[in-house]
């Protein structure tokens, strides 16, 4: 018995009454078959068992999870204070700011923490972190592997959280000390796993990869059977099989077999072209991208339509709007709800800075700053701060607008701009 299976069985013996909340919202007991499929994998219609680990071995799954998780984690997350005039400023003095922006715990940076949280949302449908407190103040966020979390419901239907560490006994985590961020959800509490629901798509992709690997191993040749006009003895049959191995496969490509009297080769199976193997693998990539909401060109699956500059720009905006923002909005609201008290929420809130995506586009940043300063929205010092430059003060901290359409008799009084 494998160590992982033995660990699961030990957990089941120690906690026979434990249960999970299934991806459809129903309660699943340890004695149910659905529970074991989550641990040991669900079998797809192609016959391939699909788990998070096996799905991540698909290049398309790896690329989708990596690009979404790193994109969200690369956005700076801050905590802001609302001002009476409707403006805001960084709440750097609030201890929560350093936790979500810089260092959630002793082992992780903010980038590593949010990358792990978003990856959990993508693969398991839910992300969990235990909230460490000193009194009523949040002191740290400890990331928890979703595979080690058990969900149950109390008598009032409220979620209960149980965690089994790698070393140690199973323990319950109080609701107020659990940061639970679901991904796409139907019941508003527990997220749905793309791996569970897309098991047939991922299984088909795995089968296509296995078929392709077998084809390349066979030297891109279909399976060949040898017809013999006599009954061979077991020793003769084994000797002939060993001989065939020496001339088969990609490593032996180019070797010519020697067929003696009474032996006729026959091709069996379907060649890769007739089976449309390459087309099937390409279609699997598009299907996987559809499950994760990633444009195929972002993971290297390009076509003539996606290579046009303007088209790429619009697809990037769509990716930020419909994919990335769905994660950032969910994370922000869960952080506000779980890490801030009801009183603090009246004054503070957390938010990702989506403007960070402009960091790689110097021309776009310059155009934004130009328009914002010319229309009296940013001062030049505001732009300098965003570029990590020191303030100049004086007129650089004054809002200005262009005044190119002024009466002729006022041209001497305004040199191209007027102050607000």
- Give 228-253 pLDDT, tens digit per residue: 777 777 887 787 777 766 655 544 45
Helix (H, G, I), strand (E, B) or coil at 2: coil
Q: Which residues of 289-303 are buried (b: 16+ CB within 10 A; e: fewer)?
A: bebbbbbbbbbebee
Is 103:91 a contact under the CB 8 Å cutoff? no
Q: By CB neighbour count within 10 A (0-12 exposed, 13-18 middle, 19+ buried), where does 28 fall?
A: buried
Looking at per-residue pLDDT, the higher value among 234 and 337 belongs to 337
pTM here is: 0.70
Kindly tell me if the per-residue pLDDT of 402 is higher than 70. yes
Q: Is 226 helix (H, G, I), strand (E, B) or coil?
A: strand
Residue 389: count other Cβ atoms within 10 Å of its Cβ. 10
Determine the average pLDDT of the residues in 274-288. 64
What is the per-residue pLDDT for 296?
87
Q: What is the average per-residue pLDDT within 95-116?
A: 96
**Tens-place pLDDT, residues 348-382:** 999 998 877 766 667 778 888 888 988 889 999 88
Please name which of 159, 164, 189, 155 lies closest in space to residue 175, comparing C-alpha atoms: 159
The per-residue pLDDT for range 7-44, each reduced to its tens digit, is 544 444 444 333 444 433 444 444 444 444 444 456 65
């Amino acid at each position: 018995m494998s160590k992982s299976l033995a660990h699961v069985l030990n957990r089941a013996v120690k906690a026979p009454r434990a249960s999970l909340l299934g991806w459809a919202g129903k309660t699943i007991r340890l004695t149910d078959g659905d529970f074991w499929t989550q641990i040991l994998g669900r079998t797809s219609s192609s016959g391939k068992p699909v788990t998070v680990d096996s799905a991540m071995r698909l290049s398309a799954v790896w690329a989708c999870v990596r690009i979404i998780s790193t994109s969200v984690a690369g956005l700076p997350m801050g905590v802001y204070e609302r001002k009476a005039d409707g403006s805001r400023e960084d709440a750097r003095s609030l201890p929560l700011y350093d936790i979500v922006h810089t260092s959630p715990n002793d082992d992780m940076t903010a980038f590593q923490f949010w990358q792990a949280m978003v990856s959990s949302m993508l693969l398991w449908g839910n992300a969990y972190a235990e909230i460490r407190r000193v009194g009523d103040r949040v002191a740290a966020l400890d990331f928890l592997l979703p595979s080690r979390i058990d969900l149950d419901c109390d008598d009032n239907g409220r979620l209960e959280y149980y965690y089994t560490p790698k070393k140690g006994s199973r323990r319950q985590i109080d609701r107020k000390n659990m940061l639970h961020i679901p991904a796409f959800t139907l019941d508003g509490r527990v997220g749905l796993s793309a791996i569970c629901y897309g098991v047939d798509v991922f299984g088909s992709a795995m089968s296509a990869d296995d078929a392709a690997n077998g084809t390349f191993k066979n030297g891109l040749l279909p399976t060949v059977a040898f017809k013999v006009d006599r009954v061979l003895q077991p020793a003769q049959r084994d000797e002939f099989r060993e001989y065939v191995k020496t001339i088969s496969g990609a490593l032996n490509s180019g070797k010519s077999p020697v067929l003696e009297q009474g032996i006729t080769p026959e091709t069996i199976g379907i060649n890769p072209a007739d089976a449309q193997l390459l087309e099937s693998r390409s279609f699997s990539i598009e299907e996987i991208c559809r499950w994760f909401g990633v444009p195929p060109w972002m993971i290297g699956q390009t076509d003539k339509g996606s290579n046009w500059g303007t088209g790429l720009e619009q697809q990037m905006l769509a990716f930020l709007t419909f994919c990335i923002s769905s994660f950032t909005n969910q994370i922000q609201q869960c952080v506000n709800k779980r890490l801030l008290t009801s009183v603090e929420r009246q004054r503070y809130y957390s938010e990702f800075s989506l403007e960070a995506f402009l960091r790689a586009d110097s021309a776009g940043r310059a155009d934004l700053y130009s328009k914002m300063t010319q229309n009296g929205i940013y001062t030049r010092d505001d732009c300098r701060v965003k570029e990590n430059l020191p303030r100049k003060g004086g007129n650089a901290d004054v809002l200005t607008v262009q005044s190119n359409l002024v009466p002729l008799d006022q041209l001497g009084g305004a040199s191209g701009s007027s102050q607000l």
